[in-house]
Amino acid sequence: MFNRLREDIQTCKQRDPAARSALEILLLYPGLKAIRMHRRANWCYRHKLFFLARWISQRAVKKTGIEIHPAAQIGRRFFIDHGTGVVIGETTVIGDDVTIYQGVTLGGTGKDTGKRHPTIGNKVMIGSGAKVLGPFKVGDNTNIAAGAVVLEEIPPNCTAVGVPARIVRRDGIRVDELDQVHIPDPVSQELCKLEYKISVLQQKLEEYEKTIN
């Protein structure tokens, strides 16, 4: 238990530049508190103490603003930065070394039964306000940009942005996992292409007008 706690505190230190001390992380970080309470709730859920499991998870919501269903499966070195508004659904499975930011939802679409929530691979970063909705997998080493809405499976080693999310990088150099800003916007890229084509056509039209005059 203490080894796991030390690992959690070290994870916070490594991924949060604002972290000052182990004591501060232990007592004041809502993400760490939510994860520790989830482990107790999950233990109760697996031992069919469903009411107690739910009671612990709801206490965690009141204390941290983070809602994790007791049945959700979470791997090691999971880091929630800030965390207010994070929601993790019942059948969610999260791998190791995953980082998520405030406002993230790992939820369902309301149409599925059984496995309703996503499976998140190892070393995944999910940016602020992103929504991952449905019973599909997000592959290892993937980045999901802030505000993205993911509605279908994402292969490993990808970067996804937009609403609905589009893959803009695959099997290339990863965007730094703590950088949610410098990620290419596919809509902006397409608008730039259109602007360039219009400029070329306008230039050709002006040259044609000069020849006929």
CATH number for the domain harbouring residue 77: 2.160.10.10
Is residue 115 domain-shared with residue 74, that is, in the same domain? yes
My answer on whether 42 and 56 are in the same domain is yes
Q: Do 172 and 197 have their domain in common?
A: no
Give yes or no: residues 57 and 13 share one domain: yes
Q: What is the pTM of this model?
A: 0.76
- 212 and 116, same structural domain? no
Q: How many domains does the chain have?
A: 2
Detail the DSSP E strand segments found in 57-194.
Answer: 67-68, 73-74, 79-80, 87-88, 93-94, 99-100, 105-107, 119-120, 125-126, 131-133, 137-138, 143-144, 149-150, 158-161, 166-170
Does residue 124 share a domain with residue 207? no
Pairing of strands 93-94, 67-68: unpaired
Whether residues 120 and 18 share a domain: the answer is: yes
Q: Cα–Cα distance between 87 and 109 in angstroms, integer?
A: 14
User: Are 54 and 154 in the same domain?
Assistant: yes
Q: Would you give per-residue pLDDT tens digits along the chain (213 residues)?
A: 778 888 989 999 888 888 889 999 899 899 999 999 999 999 999 999 999 999 999 999 999 999 999 999 999 999 999 889 999 999 999 999 999 999 999 999 877 778 999 999 999 999 999 999 999 999 999 999 999 999 999 999 999 988 888 888 887 655 444 455 555 566 666 777 888 889 889 888 888 888 886
Domain that holds residue 196: 184-213
CB distance 86 to 100 below 8 Å? yes
Q: Are residues 21 and 93 in the same domain?
A: yes
Contact 85, 102 (CB under 8 A): yes
Among 57, 47, 91, 95, residue whose Cα is nearest residue 71: 91
202 with 170, same domain: the answer is: no
